[in-house]
Amino acid sequence: MITLLDYGAGNVRSVINAIESLGERVTPVTSAEDILSAEKLVFPGVGAFGNMMRILHEKQYVAPLKAYLAADRPFLGICLGLQALFDTSEEAPGVPGLGIFPGSVKRFSVDLSIPHIGWNGLGIHKPSRIFNGLSGDEKFYFVHSYHVAPDEASAVLATTDYGYRFVSAVQRGSLIATQFHPEKSGSAGLKLLKNFLDTGLEPVLPVQGSLETRLAKRIIACLDVRTNDQGDLVVTKGDQYDVRERGAVRNLGKPVELAGRYYREGADEITFLNITGFRDFPLKDLPMRQILQETSRHVFVPLTIGGGIRDFTDRDGRSYTALEVAAEYFRAGADKISIGSEAVDIAEAYLETGNGTGTSAIETISQVYGAQAVVISIDPRRVYVSSPEAVDHPVLETEFPGPAGERFCWYQCTVKGGREGRNIDAVTMARACETLGAGEILLNCIDRDGTNQGFDLELIAAVKAAVGIPVIASSGAGCAGHFLEVFTRTQADAALAAGIFHRREVPIGEVKAHLSGKVAIRGETGKG
């Protein structure tokens, strides 16, 4: 029996699913007594440090937690569950942590995308039972803006490199805590979790050539989901956002099945977009929730859900906030939510006043679940102009002249699946959303979507240069070479594709084989 410390601030569903998939039962902590009587305690911290400590105090969990940890009983802290063990955090100055390990939690200070999102390796510093059966070259899923800095070197179990070397796991006796998410790290993560649960295992030290690690470029499979004319939820795919073929919605398969297939084929992440979210009442959109619930039971990589994340009032006059909608999806197993149309409204309002309202979907969800949980999906369309002065938007000179020979273009944001253009460009939009608290940009391109012509490198480079958060390149992948191109000619952090994966034209394995040795990826041997 595993006891799970869920203080109610985020997605703990995936940890429960991962442990249950290993044949164990999980019970949540509902009182301080549950902590003291736990056989093995797992603490998957989610959200922000200050909020977490406040809730732990409110629920009177601090004293029993300290007592449990002082007694050297089996404990696994994950992410914020690691950071909680330290004295202080730069995320919440003045708020004391549990103080189990002397040291502090610091914000990354690097000239790289923050949050540090994705699959990175471990430089292993001492033997542990959690490494049984692992080669030491596996990558694990990280998503954080802060990292721990222990005062005592003896606590360090593993380090990871991101701009500099930071501590990514600690161990003292039966107390183990990781910055990465084993529950989101595919088969390597499940193995590590299983090793934690099996307290009888001997400590092992994998043989490693060096401590150096590299963050992998992510390959993301995207499933655009909507109801077809028969009323079934299907994965569909458009050509430049038109998903109808001879009048009918294209049906490329069942969402849960396809997600499972991509997980097995090595996708680093899976994104579901409810492409008609602007029409429906999302809270009543149970099928999407069910898709997430079912998928997260078998798929142990990060899941993003987009479509319909916004404030709305339903037919009965009941109003919901975007935060409530997002909470519903996080509870169902989503790790991140993606905001499309609503983000355009929010950015426009922000640009008009120069201030956030504090109540927008981006701000509220980011505050509660952390910036890393908020993706902004941008649906831009290229607009050609004859000169940079022709419009009041950032304009770039393009290698691909327009129909009348125009050498300049800007990227107009659209809403409602490209149905409506707005007077805001993709670069300004991305920057505004970052300022408001978004943690990642999913950068689509209507002109390239479904064309197999390759990613729009000019768009991706322009947006990437404008923001400090990770950018996912999307739309247009037609062959494995396009992924190499986007990773070598732009600084994109991840690349997403749909059509070529759905139609089995280019399997994920082929993409990774093509990238192997040229770009750091997950799944190759060696640390990449």
Residues identified as active-site: 79, 181, 183, 224, 379
Q: Of the candidates 255, 437, 476, 523, which one interacts with ligand 1PR according to CB under 6 A?
A: 476
Binding mask 329-348 for ligand 1PR (x = CB under 6 A): ---------xxxxx------
Whether 515 contacts 495, CB under 8 Å: no
Q: Of the candidates 73, 181, 191, 237, which one interacts with ligand 1PR according to CB under 6 A?
A: 237
Binding mask 61-90 for ligand 1PR (x = CB under 6 A): ------------------------------
Q: Which residues are 159's β-sheet partners? A: 123, 167
Distance CA 302, CA 216 (A): 14
Compute the least distance from the CB of residue 309 to ligand 1PR, in Å: 6
Binding mask 241-280 for ligand 1PR (x = CB under 6 A): x-x-----------------------------x-x-xx--
Of 312, 239, 242, 248, give the one whose Cα is nearest residue 277. 312
Compute the least distance from the CB of residue 495 to ligand 1PR, in Å: 9
Q: Cβ closer to ligand 1PR: 130 or 258?
A: 258
Distance CA 399, CA 485 (A): 15
Sequence letter at residue 49: F
Compute the least distance from the CB of residue 337 to ligand 1PR, in Å: 9
Whether 160 contacts 179, CB under 8 Å: yes
Distance CA 434, CA 469 (A): 7
Q: Which stretch binds ligand 1PR (CB under 6 A): 210-218, 355-363, 470-478, 484-492?
A: 470-478
Sequence letter at residue 428: T
Q: Cβ closer to ligand 1PR: 11 or 341?
A: 341
Q: Of the candidates 269, 449, 458, 493, which one interacts with ligand 1PR according to CB under 6 A?
A: 449
Q: 3-state DSSP call for residue 93?
A: coil
Question: Interface residues for ligand 1PR in 369-428 (CB under 6 A)?
Answer: 377, 379, 417
Q: Would you state the structure tokens that stand for residue 439, as one six-digit string?
A: 């943690």
Q: Cβ closer to ligand 1PR: 143 or 273?
A: 273
Whether 338 contacts 305, CB under 8 Å: yes
303 burial (CB, 10 Å; 0-12 / 13-18 / 19+) is: buried
The sign of the torsion formed by the CA atoms of 373, 374, 376, 377 equals positive
Q: Cβ closer to ligand 1PR: 137 or 379?
A: 379
**Phi, psi of 189, rounded to the nearest 5 degrees:** -65, -40
Q: Would you state the structure tokens that stand for residue 56, as one six-digit string?
A: 């732990």
Compute the least distance from the CB of residue 431 to ligand 1PR, in Å: 19
In whole angstroms, how far apart are CA 360 and each of 311, 320, 344? 9, 13, 11
* Helices 341-353 + 426-436 axis angle, to 10: 80
Q: Of the candidates 444, 463, 482, 512, which one interacts with ligand 1PR according to CB under 6 A?
A: 444
**Binding residue count for ligand 1PR, defined by CB under 6 A:** 32
Q: Of the candidates 64, 308, 439, 528, which one interacts with ligand 1PR according to CB under 6 A?
A: 308
Whether 437 contacts 426, CB under 8 Å: no
By beta carbon distance, the residue nearest ligand 1PR is 417
Which residue ranges make up the site for ligand 1PR (CB under 6 A)?
222, 224, 237-238, 241, 243, 273, 275, 277-278, 306-309, 338-342, 377, 379, 417, 444, 449-450, 474-477, 497-499
